[in-house]
Amino acid sequence: MSDLSSLGYPQGYHLGSSFILWSIFIIVVAILGVGLYLNARKSALINVKQMLRAKSFVYICISIEYSLIQVTVFFPDIFLQFYFSGLVIYTFSSTLYFYYWEKNLTRIKRIPTISVGAGTIVALFALTTSIFFPDLPNFLWDFLIFTVLSLGTVAIVLYVYLIYVFSRNVRGGLTTTIGWAWIGGMVLIMVALFFEHPPGVKIFSEFIVLYIIQIVFMAGLMMTYYGITKLFKQISSFYAHTQRCAVHLGTIEKGTPIHYCSSCGIVYCETCFNQVIMKDGCWNCREEADFEIEKEQDIAQVLEQDKPDKRKKPPEKETSSSPKLKRN
C-alpha cells in the first residue's frame, strides 16, 4: 500500500502542531457528543430524545474516527484500513441519525437515510478491499473516498434544506438567527470534509491541510451543536405536528410564517403575534395572575373575528325567584 504522500496528504499530516490541533478537535467533539446525550436525557419529548441520542452518537463516532487516524498516521502501510474503519463507523452512525430524523420529523422518500446508508456499504467494501487487496492504484482509493463523501453530501444538502425551510417560516426570539447558524455550521463541515479528503488535499496548500481544517471542522460542529440544542424542540414541533395558534386556536396553514416564543416554544400565527403577543407578551410563560382578565378579553375578541356578526341580546333584569306576597 502506498504511503500518505502518494495519496495526496502532505508530509507531517497529523504530526507535530497538526497532531495537537487534531487532539484538541477530538476532545472537543467528544465533549459535545456527551453534551448532546445529556440534553437527550433532559428532554420530555420522545422524538427529540431519540434524535438527540442519535446525534450524540454521531459526534462520538467522529471523535473515534479521527482518533483512529491519529494513531494509524504513524503506520502508513495500514493507514487506509484504519481510515476506512473510521469512515464506516461515522457513516453508520449518520445513517441512524438520518433514520430517526426522517422517522420523527419528515420524509423526503428516505433519500438522506438511503444515501448515507449506501455510503456505509461503499466504505465497508473499501475496508474489505484494503485488507485483501492493499496494492490497488491510488486513483481507485480516491474514487472510493469520493463516492462515500458524495453520498454523504447529498444527505447533508437535504438536511440543510429542511433547516432552511424551518428558518424561513419560523420567527420569534432568536429562532431565525440560530437556524442560520445551524445551516452555517453544516456548510463549514462540508468545506472541512472537502479540504481533508482527495481531491481537496491535492488542491489546497499544506498550511490549510495541516492547520486550518481542524479549526473549520471544529467551528462547524460547534455551530451545529448550538443549533441542535436550541431548536430541536421547535423543529420537531414544526415538522411533526399540525400547528395551532395559541391565541385563536386555529390551524396555521402550511407555508404561513410561524412565531415561536424564545422562552417556552409555544406557537403563534403571524397575525395574532403582531396584534396580541407583541403588546401583551407570551401567554404561556408570563405571570398568569396579572394578565388573566386581559387574556380572556383578547381571546374573546380574536375568536369573535371568525364568527358572523350576531346581535347581542340585552341582559335580562334580575327578578326574584318567587313573587312577593301582598299583605292584606
pLDDT of residue 262: 65
**Can you give the pLDDT of all 328 residues of the chain as single tens digits?**
446 777 788 877 888 888 999 999 999 999 999 999 999 998 877 788 889 999 999 999 999 999 998 888 788 788 889 999 999 999 999 999 999 998 888 767 899 999 999 999 999 999 999 999 988 888 899 899 999 999 999 999 999 999 998 888 877 656 778 999 999 999 999 999 999 888 888 888 889 988 999 999 999 999 999 999 988 878 877 776 667 787 887 877 765 677 877 666 677 888 888 888 887 788 777 644 343 444 455 555 555 655 555 454 555 554 444 444 444 4
Alpha carbon of residue 138 to chain centroid: 35
Alpha helix segments (H runs only) across the chain: 16-42, 46-72, 79-104, 111-132, 138-169, 175-196, 200-203, 206-207, 213-240, 270-272, 278-280, 288-305
pLDDT at 52: 94
Angle of helix 213-240 versus helix 175-196 axis, rounded to 10: 140
Name beta bridge partners: 176: none
Task: For residue 199, say if its preceding peptide bond is cis, omega within 30 degrees of 0.
Answer: yes
Helix (H) or strand (E) holding 171: strand 170-171
Parallel, antiparallel or unpaired: strands 170-171 and 267-269: unpaired
| Domain limits, the chain | 4-238, 258-305
- Per-residue pLDDT, 221: 97
DSSP state of 247: T
With H, G, I as helix, E, B as strand and everything else as coil, classify residue 278.
helix
> 267: part of which helix (H) or strand (E)?
strand 267-269
CATH topology of domain 4-238: Rhopdopsin 7-helix transmembrane proteins (1.20.1070)
Main-chain phi, psi angles of 258, to 5 degrees: -120, 140
pLDDT given at position 266: 76
